[in-house]
Structure 1
C-alpha cells in the first residue's frame, strides 16, 4: 500500500494518526504525509515518525501561481463549495483577517489540486488516510482521489455507542441506505446477536449519549482551568516561534500566534456573556404543540459541508417561525457545546421572533423529542434520535438517515409552510421492525470501536491498534476502492 496521510492542527489527532501510520509501515506499507503547514509539522512531531516523505502545503502554496488548466480539468467537482468549511473557520477564528480576496481563492483551489495531483502521481498513492472529510484540505484530497479511483479512508465517530464510521464522500454516504434496502429485501440477514444489540439500543435510546459528545469537552466554559496549565507554556513557546508566519500561506492555521489569540478571545467572550445568555432562555410550556429545532455547533463539518446553504441559523429559524401552521410553536434548543458563542444580539433576535421559545442547552432533549410533533433540523443527531423515538423529521441538510420514511427533505425552503401543513396534518408512520432494520443497517455500516482522536499518546496507541485491525482486514478483502 502507498498511503497518503493528511495532517493538520487538529488537537492531539497526531497521537492517533502517527501511531496508526506506524503500524501500516511496520507491515510494509509506504506512508507519505500531506501537512497543511510548518507549524502543524512541528506540533504533530511528524519528523520523528520515519515517514517516507513529508510535504508542506504552505511552502508549496507560497510559490504557486494559479493554473487555470487544472481548475478546468477538475471543474466537474464542487471546488467552490469545498472552500466553505475553511472559510467559515477563518471567519469564526479570525484566521485570514482581510488578507484573502477573489484571486487568493482561485490560487488556493489551483494550489490544492496541483499539490495533491503531484503527490498522487509521484508516489502512486492508493489510499488516503484521515478523519472524515471535514475541511477544504481533505475535500480537495478527496477530489483528486476520486479522479484517480483511489480510496479515501475517513475515520469518524458514529451515533452508535462503541462503533465508528469509515467513509469517503460525506455527501454520498449511502452505505446505511444500501444495507437497509438489502435487509428489507431479505438479501442481507442480520445475525441474532446484532438484532438483540439493536433492540437493546433502541429501548435505551433515551439514556444514551453518542461517544463524540462525551469527549469534546466543549460544554465547559471555564477559562482559568483551561488556559493556566503547565503544558500551555510549551504551547506558547511554540506559537512564539511562528509569530511572523503568513496569515494566508498556512490557510488553515493562519499565523498560529494570532489565531490562538483569537481562539482565546472567543472563549473569553463566551465566558463573559454566559450569564446574560442564560437569562434569555425560556422554558417549555406544558401541552404546547411544537416542533423542536436543535441549534448546531459552528464551525463544523456537519453544517459547513453537509448543510452549507443553511449556515446562517438565524435566517433558518426566522424562515421556520414565519412558516409555521397556526397553533404550532418552534422550540429552539441551544447546543450544549456551542451555547454562548453567538452574540447576545443573536439570542435576542431569536427571542423576538413570533412563535419561538428559546431553550437552554440543559433542557432534556429526549423528553422534548417525545413531547414534540417532530424535529426540524439541518443535520443534527437529534433528528436521528427522533426517528428512533418515532417522531417525524424535517431535514434541510444531507445526512445518512435522510432516506428514512420518517424524514421529509426541505429542498425548497419557499414551500416550507405548505410542507409543514401537509406533514403535520398527516404524519408518516412506521413500526418497530422498520426502525430495527434501519438501526441494524447503520450498525452493519459501522465498525467496532469508540473513536476518540483526542487521546494522549499511550491511549491513542491502544486505540490505533484496534482500528488498525479493522482497516487491515478491510484492505485484505477489498479489491476496489471504497466509495462510501
Structure 2
C-alpha cells in the first residue's frame, strides 16, 4: 500500500511520524511525506526526510500556484469548517492576522489541489496524521474522501495506557461506538470496568500527562531547548519565505508573540489567584447547596475549535449557563489546570462577580465536586465521561465521542438548559456497556510523542502494522 504522512509545526511530531514511516517501509509499503513548510527543515532538521525525493512541501506548491487560483464560491464547506481551527489560534494569540485580500481563498484552493494531486499521482491508499485538528489535516481528509481513500488519525485516549485511531472528524467513530455498545460484556471486560470505576477518582488521562501545559514559570522561557528553538526561528525568518507559510506566518512575530503570551500568562496567574474561592470555603458550600459543575477548556484546542466552534468563548459560555440556572442553584466553574493564567485577571474578576457562580481553583479534584453535584454541564470535556461513570447526568453543548451514551442530555443551545435540568440517573449497566465499548474502540499502548527517541523499532513496527490493518479492513470507493 501507499501511505502519505502529514508533517506540520507540532513539536516533535516530525520525528515520531518519521519512525512510523520507516516501519511502514520495512513492511514493504511505499511512504510519502507532505510537509507544511520548508520552515520544518530548520526548526526540526531531519535530512533523511527533508531531502528525500518522496517529500513534498506545501509552501512550495502554494508559491507555484498562488497567482493562478481564482476566488472560490464553493458551498461544500464553510469558512469555519476549513479555517477556524487556525483562526482560533490566530485570534487567541494575536498573530498571522495581516494576510492580503483573497489570501485564504487561495490557500484553500491550493490545499485542495496539493492533496488531490499527491493522492492521485502517488496512488495513495491512506493519509496518516493525528485526529483532524487543523486545516492542513482537514484538507487532506477532504482529499481522501473525494478519492475514496482512508484517513488514519492517531490520538491519546481518555483511558490511561490506550490510544485511538480515527477515520473521520467524528461520524465514523460514533457509528463504531454504537455498534460496539450492542455487544455483551465479557467477564474480563466487566472486571476491568469495575476496577476503572473504583479508581476513577485518581485517574489522569494520558493526554493530560503528556502536555505539561500547566508549567508556567518564567524559567521555562529561558530553557536551553527554548533558546535553541528561538535561534532556529530567527534562521527560518532569514532563509524562508514566510508569506506562503500559511499556518505559521512570520517567525520573528512568532518569537515576540510567544514571549508575550508566556509572560502575560505568568503575570495573569499571579494576579488572578485572589479571585478563586478558598478550598475550605468550596468544601463547606458544596456540602449544603445545589450546584452543577462546568469545566473550562484549554484554548485554542481542536476538541472545541473543530468539534464545538460555537463554544470557544469561555466567558460567553459561563454567563449563558449561569443565566439559565434557577435561583438557588450555583454553577461551580473549574479552570483547566493546563490553561490557568491564559485568561486575563479581568476575566476571572468578572466571573466571580456573577451571583450564581463560584470560581474553583484548577487544583481542585473535579471528580470530588461532581460526586456532590447535580450534574456536569460541559462543551465536550473528558470530565463528561468521568461524570457518567460517577452516575451523574451530563448536559452537553458540543460534539464528542460520548454524546450518544445514556446519561448525556444534548443541548441545542443555552436556552435548552432550564427544561433539560434534573435529568434522571441512567442505568449503571447501560453506562458500563458504553464505557467498555469505548475501551474496545481504543488500543493498548503509549502515544507519548515527546518520547519518540526512546521508542524502539518494535514499537513503531507494531503501530505501523496496526495502521496498515486499519486500511485493509475499510472498503474504499473510487
TM-score, normalization by structure 2: 0.92
Kindly state the Cα deviation for residue 416 of structure 1 after the two structures are TM-superposed: 3.1
Structural mapping, 1:245-394, within 5 Å: 245-283=240-278, 284=282, 285=285, 286-394=287-395
Q: Relative to 1, partners in 2 of residues 1:375 and 1:454: Cα closer, same or farther, differing over 3 Å?
A: same
How far residue 126 of structure 1 moved from its aligned partner, in angstroms, is: 1.0
Counting matched residue pairs gives: 468
Structure 1: runs of 5+ lacking an equivalent: none
SS at match of 1:5: strand
Match of 1:154 in 2: 153
SS in 2 for 1:243: helix
Separation in 1, partners of 2:164, 2:474: 20
Distance 1:263 1:395, change over 3 A: same
The unaligned stretches of length 5 or more in structure 2 are: none
1:431-466: CA deviation from partner (whole Å, max 9, x where unpaired): 221122011100111111121122242337564344
Q: How far off is 1:236 after superposition?
A: 3.2
- Compared with structure 1, are the counterparts of its residues 436 and 104 closer, same or farther at alpha carbon in structure 2 (3 Å cutoff)? same
The equivalent residue for 2:7 is 7
Deviations 1:244-276 (A, max 9, x none): 455542111222232133112211111122121
In the alignment, does 2:437 pair up with 1:441? yes
| Corresponding residue for residue 228 of structure 1 | 222
Q: Deviations over 1:344-392 (max 9, x none)?
A: 1111121122201111100111101101101111110011110111101
Relative contact order: is structure 1 or structure 2 higher (C-alpha 8 Å, sep ≥ 6)? 1
Does structure 2 conserve the Cα–Cα contact (< 8 Å) formed by 1:84 and 1:308?
Answer: yes
Give the distance between the partners of 1:382 and 1:260, measured in 2 at CA: 34
* Paired position in structure 2 for 1:209: 204
1:401 aligns to what SS in structure 2? coil
SS in 2 for 1:166: strand
Alignment CA distance shift 1:195-1:70 (3 Å): farther
SS of equivalent residue, structure 1 residue 370 = helix
Asked if 1:141 is matched to 2:136, the reply is: no
1:124 maps to 123
User: For residues 93 and 208 of structure 1, what CA distance do their matches in structure 2 show?
Assistant: 32
Alpha carbons of structure 1 residues 194 and 295: separation in structure 2 relative to 1, 3 Å = same
Deviation at 1:417, TM superposition (A): 2.9
The answer to whether the aligner puts 1:91 opposite 2:86 as a matched pair is no
Change (3 A) 1:289 1:17: same
Matches of 1:233 and 1:118 in 2, distance apart?
38
Residue 229 of structure 1 and its aligned partner are, at CA, apart by 3.1
User: 1:399 Cα shift?
Assistant: 0.3
**Equivalents in 2 of 1:460, 1:211: separation in Å?**
20
Report if aligned partners of 1:16, 1:453 keep a CA contact under 8 Å in 2: yes
SS at match of 1:276: helix
Quote the residue 1:109 is aligned against.
108
Deviations 1:26-72 (A, max 9, x none): 22211111111111233343431475521211122234136458763
Aligned match of 2:166: 167
Residue 42 of structure 2 corresponds to 42
1:480 is aligned, of 463, 475, 478, to 475
SS in 2 for 1:428: coil
Deviation, structure 1 residue 198: 2.0
Deviations, residues 107-151 of structure 1 (Å, cap 9, x unaligned): 111111111111111111110000111111101111111111110
Would you say 1:53 and 2:47 are equivalent positions? no
CA distance, structure 1, for counterparts of residue 167 and residue 46 of structure 2? 24
Distance 1:52 1:366 in 2: 51
Deviation at 1:94, TM superposition (A): 3.3
Contact 1:246 1:254 in 2 (8 A): no
Pairwise CA distance, 1:178 = 4.0
Checking the alignment, whether the CA contact within 8 Å between 1:32 and 1:53 is kept in structure 2 is yes
Distance in 1 between residues matched to 2:409 and 2:298, nearest whole Å:
23
TM-aligned CA distance change 1:463 to 1:228, over 3 Å? farther
Looking at structure 1, the residues matched to 256 and 464 of structure 2 have their Cα atoms a distance apart, in angstroms, of 36
SS at match of 1:170: coil
281-290 or 328-337, which deviates more = 281-290
SS in 2 for 1:242: helix
Partner Cα separation in structure 2 for residue 174 and residue 377 of structure 1: 20
1:362 and 1:444 map into 2 onto residues whose CA distance is: 31
SS of residue matched to 1:297: coil
Which residue of structure 2 aligns with residue 19 of structure 1?
19
Equivalent position SS for 2:337 = coil
